[in-house]
Structure 1
């Protein structure tokens, strides 16, 4: 996937968030990702084909609503888990302009380091 995680500085576009939240499968994925899950686990829990699931995860990632958490396996390779990356999404209108605010959970230092590590892995 193109975008691995969202930092608190990310500002997803209003349209990206609306597109993701308008999709019933994306909403199902969001309900299931309160705890980190692999794509295989999500595909089973959400009853969505894995190829479709990856497209939904891309939509959610573009909207900074999910993040990827990679772990290195002792046998080699890595496992990617996906988790919801917001506490609250607020869409408001003021002076005929819509705006979006995404409240994110606070991250500990080790989680921020894991995000950086994950992004570095995507660059290699």
Structure 2
């Protein structure tokens, strides 16, 4: 995806109420599609469409969690810390600062804390 297409897609996503709510809701805590559906007051298909677009743009990440009885499900977490739009010389530029990556120790602690 080219920079201009990516910027265009991000601008469109930021105009979408559900995409913004998903980013806000997953800023500090991973959430399942069901949790996002409840929090955003949106249908599951709407949540899945928005999460797919957010993942494609690099704004959201998807992880697999182990559920009850060995079932797996996806959880989502925002990947951005800051998003800046600047107007300079009649041109809009978009800068994305990613959230610091989670360490393996953090993931291990989260995994065992859920058991």
Indicate the TM-score class for this superposition, using the shorter chain for normalisation: 0.7 to 0.9
Runs of 4+ in 1 over 3 A off after TM superposition: 72-77
Counterpart of 1:47 in structure 2 is 41
Q: Is 1:20 aligned to 2:13, yes or no?
A: yes
Counterpart of 1:67 in structure 2 is 61
Rg larger for: 2
One of 69, 86, 97 as aligned partner of 1:92: 86
Checking the alignment, whether the CA contact within 8 Å between 1:14 and 1:100 is kept in structure 2 is yes
Q: 1:99 to 1:109 in 2, by over 3 A?
A: same
Q: CA RMSD in A?
A: 2.5
Cα offsets for 1:40-92 (capped at 9, x unmatched)? 11111111000111111122122211111123458444221001110100112
Q: 1:108 to 1:83 in 2, by over 3 A?
A: closer
CA distance in 1, matches of 2:85, 2:17: 19
TM-score (norm 2): 0.75
Q: What secondary structure does 2:31 align onto? A: coil
Compare the two structures and name the one with the higher helix fraction: 2
Give the number of aligned pairs: 103
One of 20, 23, 29 as aligned partner of 1:30: 23
